[in-house]
Amino acid sequence: MERDRTADADDRDGRRPSRRRVLEAIGAATAAGTAGVAGTGVTGADPEEEGDDELAGLQLATGDPCEWERTDDSRLPFETEGYGGWGGHEFLDTESGLDHYPVVLAHGNTRDACDFLDHAEYFMERGFGGDALWAITFGREGSTHDEMRNQLEDFVTQILEYTGVNKVQVLGHSLGVTGLRYWMDGLDDYPDRYDRVETLVGLAGANDGTWTCGPGCEEGPDNTRVCQFISHDCADTPGEPLYELNTPDETPHDEEIDYHTLRGSADEFFLVRPESPTLEGAENVEMATDHDGVRTEEAAKQLAYEWLSTPLSPDARRQD
């Protein structure tokens, strides 16, 4: 897909900062260094000596969890089984209809869909309607990638049927990034889903693993099940799902799909491999913040909005 990835056009009313200015602001913050960045969670521990026991201690997420059960689907216009979330014009109290491709938001380990309520407000203030904003809550706090893939398949299928379009845009944070990529890569009983995705945005994803999972890819206790997929060894070992997901191409079908990543220069999960959240072939941006800051900070939300404000194309409507 041919797109100007460095476009500098302001919006029609002139109030939105241009994408160039956002990138310049991020670059300036990064150039200033990470000293004194609030809430980084970096304690000086040697990451090579840490292991699975440290995983829970590094869940330094920002934001209040949902006040309802994880599998509650009452904030969606369709029924689900085994997962929850929110989305659509009724929940978000907007007019029905679409001007943009729907955005599917996928949270990280131990989190839920309410991590993205601020994103919904931010996007709606800039012209998005509720039918373009959807967030999933995976059925378990520490869901496996197979569980995330199955639930995303159902969630996206229902969104496409509800909205009547043929593609979505996806944004993941932390574990949600590899979960989305794993879903896009397909299942044994259905083909890959790259043709269902217009744009992928990955915020602090462990695309090349994380040191907090320690060595090996062996099955562990429930609170470390995610490490069966995203340890460094899983990224380095042929035959392991994360290695295969990255091989031979980390951004398949990049002629049709726009790939973007954002990482924090003070991200406590990537002390050993700072480049892990990036994807070869994507637009990769770094900002001076921590693991959660790439989701919560104003500049990060602005950049995500810039990447995801894709208007519907003339052929976006489903033909079935």
Q: What is the pLDDT of residue 250?
A: 97
β-pair type (133-137, 84-87): antiparallel
Share of the chain above pLDDT 70, in %: 76
pLDDT tier at 136 (50, 70, 90 boundaries)? very high
pLDDT at 164 over 50: yes
Rounded to an integer, what is the distance from CA 210 to the centroid of its chain?
16
Rounded to an integer, what is the distance from CA 32 to the centroid of its chain?
26
Range in 24-38, 233-247, 269-283 the model is least confident about: 24-38
Distance CA 88, CA 172 (A): 19
Do residues 227 and 73 touch, judged by C-beta distance below 8 A?
no
Distance CA 305, CA 119 (A): 9
Q: In angstroms, what is the C-alpha Rg of the chain?
A: 19
Q: What is the pLDDT of residue 316?
A: 78
Q: What is the pLDDT of residue 123?
A: 97
- Please report the DSSP string for 82-125 in residue order: S-EEEESHHHHT--S--SB--EEEE--TT--GGGGHHHHHHHHT
- What predicted TM-score, i.e. pTM, was given to this entire model? 0.83
User: 10 Å Cβ neighbour count for 137?
Assistant: 30
Taking CA atoms, 241 is separated from 14, 34, 174, 214, in Å, by: 46, 33, 17, 17
- Taken in order of first residue, the domains within the chain and their CATH numbers are 19-24+49-308 (3.40.50.1820)
Mean pLDDT of 95-123: 96
pLDDT at 57 over 80: no
Q: What is the pLDDT of residue 188?
A: 66
Q: Who has greater pLDDT, 186 or 298?
A: 298
Q: What is the pLDDT of residue 315?
A: 80
Do residues 220 and 290 touch, judged by C-beta distance below 8 A?
no
Rounded to an integer, what is the distance from CA 48 to the centroid of its chain?
27
Please provide residue 187's backbone torsions phi and psi, each rounded to the nearest 5 degrees.
-125, 165
Bridge partner list, 84:
137
Distance CA 101, CA 192 (A): 19
Q: What share of the chain is helix, strand, coil (3-state, %, to 5)?
A: 35, 15, 50
Average pLDDT along the chain: 83
pLDDT tier at 75 (50, 70, 90 boundaries)? very high
Is it true that the peptide bond before 248 is cis, omega within 30 degrees of 0? yes
Q: What is the pLDDT of residue 24?
A: 52
Q: What is the pLDDT of residue 191?
A: 79
